Amino acid sequence: MKAFMHADGQMRLGELADPSPGMGEVVVALKAAGLNRRDLMIPGRRGNESRPLVLGSDGAGVIESIGADVTDWSIGDEVIINPSLRWFQKSAAPPERFDILGMPDHGTFAEKIVISAEQLEKKPEHLSWEESAVIALSALTGYRALFTQGDLKAGQTVFIPGAGSGVATFMIQLAKSAGAKVIVTSRSESKRESARNIGADMALDTNSDWVAELQGETIDLVVESVGRATFNRSLQVLKKGGKIVVFGATTEDTVDFDLRSFFYGQYQLLGTTMGSREELRAALRFMELHGIRPVIDRAFRLEEAQEAFDRLKHNEQFGKIVVSI
């Protein structure tokens, strides 16, 4: 089978043997896969490791073969991949055996994948293959950040720095559908306009004075994924006693902040990563109920996977980048 993989310090399109299912596993013939920022980081983490690793966490396809002891799925079923491995019940933190698909296990940028049947969900009927392929990681991450960790309620206001990411485009729609007011930021006027088009109530220039721009607004929740570049600015606009939920750090990981101001402000700082199968299923139901569709930035063929990576690396996208297989 064809696969886009990392080996010997290089990313390349190559050939691997077709997988076969073991006990409790299925082989899915993939129709499309979703690109995530995590995929950009993995080559650096692997260095010059020689073992080929298929990248990619998100995907959707058709079950091609089934291993022993699989009773809930049949050949021909249309499915999406849940990349949150072995985290089934909602909990304060993932279990010890939790991993994200795409490292150390082979991921979804390939014609086929073998995976535990427990990691499959039914493909949403109202979504295309490309749309279905980008849901799991980003929608799950955004849903848990907003509702499990952030406890967002109707009538509250959420502030999301960085409007163009896949997770942000899901969160704008999820929060708006829940009855919240949504405020985002971006350096790009076109991305600010696109954010308003999918439900953002306000879209600020990242370089503007957020405190001045948000006078009169009460920010109940901040969902941060940018890191050092925006963390303290986000904290400045959060109401006293408000929550800041962090799920990423696209700029520097290390952040300094004034502890005295933090504890006098009674702020709540919460981390989050991915989510459980229970939360993914809740997110899928919520999306179906409210007619939420992923925002697709652009689709590339598997042979063009490196171009897809380059587009994400340069932050050119608004929404999700898809690899069609």
**Same domain for 97 and 149:** no
pLDDT for residue 246: 95
- Output DSSP code: residue 176: H
In a domain? residue 55: yes
- Identify the CATH number of the domain in which residue 145 sits: 3.40.50.720
Residue (of 158, 162, 155, 138) closest to 146 by Cα position: 158
Residue 143 inside a domain? The answer is yes
Q: What does pLDDT average to over the chain? A: 96
The pTM of the full predicted model, rounded to 2 decimals, is: 0.95
> pLDDT band at residue 35, thresholds of 50, 70 and 90?
very high
Asked whether residue 316 carries a pLDDT value surpassing 90, the answer given is no
User: Which tens digit of pLDDT belongs to each residue from 54-72?
Assistant: 999 999 999 999 999 999 9
Query: Do residue 103 and residue 169 come from a single domain?
Result: no
Confirm whether 283 is domain-assigned: no
251, pLDDT greater than 80? no
Give me 18's structure tokens: 């077709």
Are residue 143 and residue 128 in the same domain, yes or no?
A: no
- Above 80 in pLDDT, residue 250? no
Same domain, 308 and 258: no
Give the domain extent around 21.
2-135+294-324
**Are 195 and 314 within one domain?**
no
Residue 31 has pLDDT above 80, yes or no: yes
For residue 79, the model assigns a pLDDT of: 98
How many domains is the chain partitioned into structurally?
2
- Does 304 fall in a domain? yes
% the chain with pLDDT above 70:
100
Residue 52 has pLDDT above 90, yes or no: yes
Confidence label for 227 from pLDDT (cuts 50, 70 and 90): confident
Whether residue 287 is contained in a domain is answered as no
Residues 8 and 85 in one domain: yes
- For 70, half-sphere exposure in the C-beta direction (CA atoms, 13 angstrom radius) is 23
Are 186 and 200 members of one domain? yes
- 11: enclosing H helix or E strand: strand 10-15
Name the nearest CA neighbour of 251 among 289, 292, 206.
206
CATH number, domain at 100? Answer: 3.90.180.10
Give the per-residue pLDDT at 249: 79
Residues 152 and 250 reside in one and the same domain: yes
pLDDT of residue 254: 86
Are 186 and 305 within one domain? no
Closest CA to 181 of 159, 162, 160, 157: 157
In terms of domains, do 126 and 169 share one?
no
Q: Give the Å distances, CA to CA, from 78 to 81, 88, 300.
A: 10, 21, 21
Query: Which element (helix H / strand E) includes 278?
Result: helix 277-290
Cβ 143 vs Cβ 60: under 8 Å = no
Q: What is the pLDDT of residue 61?
A: 98
Q: For residue 89, count CB atoms less than 10 angstroms from its CB and return exposed for 0-12, middle for 13-18, buried for 19 or more.
A: exposed
How does pLDDT run across 298-314, given as a tens digit for each residue?
A: 999 999 999 999 999 99
**Confidence (pLDDT) at 253:** 81
Does residue 206 lie in a domain region? yes
Question: Distance (Å, rounded) from C-alpha 184 to C-alpha 150?
Answer: 16
Residue 286 resides in a domain: no
- Please tell me the predicted confidence (pLDDT) of residue 291: 95
Q: Is position 103 within any domain?
A: yes
174, 154 contact by CB (below 8 A): no
97-150 pLDDT, tens per residue? 999 999 999 999 999 999 999 999 999 999 999 999 999 999 999 999 999 999
pLDDT, one tens digit per residue, over 228-240 is 888 999 999 999 9
